[in-house]
Amino acid sequence: MEGVDMKKKEQRIVVAVDESEESMYALSWCLSNLVSHTPDCKLVLLYVKPPPPVYSSIDAPGYLFSNDLIATLEKYGTDLVRSVMERAEAVYRNFSIDVERVVGSGEAKDVICNAVKQLEADTLVMGSHGYGFLKRAFLGSVSDYCAKNVKCPVVIVKNHDK
Amino acid sequence: MEGVDMKKKEQRIVVAVDESEESMYALSWCLSNLVSHTPDCKLVLLYVKPPPPVYSSIDAPGYLFSNDLIATLEKYGTDLVRSVMERAEAVYRNFSIDVERVVGSGEAKDVICNAVKQLEADTLVMGSHGYGFLKRAFLGSVSDYCAKNVKCPVVIVKNHDK
């Protein structure tokens, strides 16, 4: 058959998850359509935390942050990771599949593209609207960027009840 | 499990094919990763011919086309359809799958989006660079447009040797 690479045995599928319903639907689509019938398949759940804000009391004296506030924000970030991963687990727990969880930090589009490259992913699966409505409106969507910039096939999944 | 629609039994996968190697690789990826393990699956091969040019001897007297030239262009279009479908057949012939061939005419992005809607496709699979380099450079790619505008999951496949 034309063009199919048979060298690598294990299929490595990266699913980018975030707080959105859509990303959970993307995960369930992936499990039902890509993973469920493939025996040698590894699922990598990738969550990207936003980059840590820079707090400076010298440059912007109007924006002073107390240590308490910084600690609260950091805890919120950690809680968010746990919450997203727990929701993801509820989606994949009935599938017998090898799952790895990866948490990155930084600009989602860059972290996802780098992770796909480093992990030598065979497929990237993601929702179309993740990582912020406003950012999407002004800068284009993360999924657009990833579809253009990663080399493996990209599956873009929309919210199913739209 | 969260969010998976179990109502429809037959999976209908539309693969947009064109003259490119990439679209043939997208088809082979689809057969290996989406189709091969799904018993109730219909594959729709969609080829889009460009819209027929408008020949007017009244508005633009400098651009007169003879009937012979028009017939030659039309035959070229028909030959192209046959050639693409034959290449596609070489890719899918070893898979026991129900295949339907659909040929549309018009702007590729509009024809593909309309076909996906009318056929109630479950998944759209396409190459990332199809339907003309120059057009892509100025107007954005057909795959970008389709990924934004169809409601079902879209798989964008890159040429595997890039």
* Residue-range domain boundaries for chain A: 11-157
The predicted model scores a pTM of: 0.82
Inform me whether the C-beta atom of residue B23 falls under 8 Å from chain A C-beta atoms: no
Is ipTM > 0.90 here?
no
Chain B CB within 8 Å of residue A148 CB: yes
Domain B11-157: give its CATH architecture. 3-Layer(aba) Sandwich (3.40)
Flag whether residue B4 sits within 8 Å of chain A, measured between CB atoms.
Answer: yes
Task: Give the range among A14-28, A68-82, B50-64 with minimum mean pLDDT.
Answer: B50-64
Mean pLDDT of the A11-35 span: 92
Contact call for residues B116 and A113 (beta carbons, < 8 A): no
From the CA of B60, how many Å to the nearest CA of chain A? 40
> pLDDT-based confidence at B4, cuts 50/70/90?
very low
Contact (CB<8Å) B158/A143? no
Contact list in B for residue A156 (CB cut-off 8 A) is: 147, 153-156
The answer on pLDDT for B162 being more than 60 is no
Please indicate if any CB of chain A lies within 8 Å of the CB of B56: no
> Using 50, 70 and 90 to split pLDDT, how confident is the model at A76?
confident
Mutation target among A17, A30, A113, A154 for the B interface, most CBs of B within 10 A: A154
- Of B17 and B159, the one with more pLDDT: B17
B18 close to B130: Cβ distance less than 8 angstroms: yes
Q: What is the mean pLDDT of residues B143-151?
A: 90
Candidates A4, A10, A36, partner chain B, best to mutate (most B CBs within 10 A): A4
Neighbouring CB atoms inside 10 A of B88's CB total 22
Q: Is A52 on the interface with B (CB under 8 A)?
A: no
